[in-house]
Amino acid sequence: MIIGVGIIIGGGFLEVTWLCFLFGSVLGVVLVLLCAPHLFLLPWNVCLLTGLAFMGSPDEVGEALSSGAVVCRKATHGLLRVLRIVVMIAVIVSIVAGLALLYKNHNEEKVAQDQKKAAQEILVENAKALERRALQYGKKWTVSGNLDPTSNTKIATTAFVVSSDGRCELTVQKRLNGGELTGLDCQGVKISEYEDIYVQFDTDNDSARMDLKSYSDGDGVYIPFYLSDEYMGYYMSYQNFIKGLVSANIVSIKIPNIHSDFWVEFSLNGSAKAINQLGKKI
């Protein structure tokens, strides 16, 4: 008698626990409702029948156990149906997830290939642009000027040439205010004023160092003009640099770069005429 009551009471606790487990998942509740609704009261039914069996006569015990066996068989069939549906859903979800992953990987590969192709096209176009620039301005020095407001005439202020690879530009300037300097600019390269350049003319055996300064109104750099013949004894003077530009055939300059220093070559074809025209009327 006491054992039967204890089993029934324990069945109540098991039923509460079982319901908490089922209602922890919306999908679990839906599957049980559709496939095996009798599973909701499975622990309670089993414990109730077992407890009543212990509390009744032998005949009642046999009948209760028989009813419990029927309930267990139904519960087993219901659980199998639920498991089959869960497995089917898991397979479908896995297939969908796999297809989605393949699609994502395919898209990422396509985007990466498109980006690589676009980058290569940009490099090719830039190379062609540099080649066109070198062909246009790299064979001979060109002169440009500014209007002198005092005389209302155009005065030659800049003589420039592009390197043989079209990447850099060398500009000898004699400004209207009398200032002299040589600008140095390379596309896509940040040249630091804190690093020296090395200059070598085809008429010299060795290269020489030259100082750099930065423009106050921009990011470019220039070779400054110094009155002394040799600046501090270690650098080529600006005067000797200009003499080399008008007398040699080719000048090579080593450009300091944060990634790797590189040399560029400038033709001096027509440099003497262009530089000597600076400060004069065009």
Q: Which helix (H) or strand (E) holds 35?
A: helix 26-35
> What gap in Å lies between CA 249 and CA 269, rounded to an integer?
7
Record the tokens describing residue 188, joined without a space: 């896509």
CA distance 198 to 187: 19
* HSE (side-chain half, CA atoms, 13 Å) at 25: 10
The pLDDT of residue 227: 47
The answer to whether 161 touches 137, Cβ cutoff 8 Å, is: yes
User: 3-state class of 166 per DSSP?
Assistant: coil
Q: What confidence score (pLDDT) does residue 231 get?
A: 52
Q: Which of 59, 64, 35, 62 is nearest to 47 (CA)?
A: 64
Q: According to the model, what pLDDT value does residue 114 have?
A: 78
Alpha carbon 102 to chain centroid distance? 23
Average pLDDT, the chain: 75
Query: What tens digit of pLDDT does each residue of 114-158 get?
Result: 777 776 666 556 555 555 555 555 578 999 999 988 888 999 999
Q: Which of 83, 86, 5, 74 is nearest to 42 (CA)?
A: 74
pLDDT at residue 181 in the model: 93
Tokens of 176: 């209207």
CB burial of 38-72 (b: ≥16 within 10 Å; e: otherwise) equals ebbbbbbbbbbbbbbbbbeeeeebeebeebbeebe
Residue in the structure block whose two tokens are 């109104």: 217
Residue ranges of the chain whose pLDDT lies below 70? 1-13, 15-16, 18-87, 119-138, 217-219, 227-233
> In the 8-state DSSP scheme, what is residue 281?
B
Q: What angle do CA 209, 215, 217 make, to 5 degrees?
A: 170
**Run of H or E residues at 153:** strand 153-162
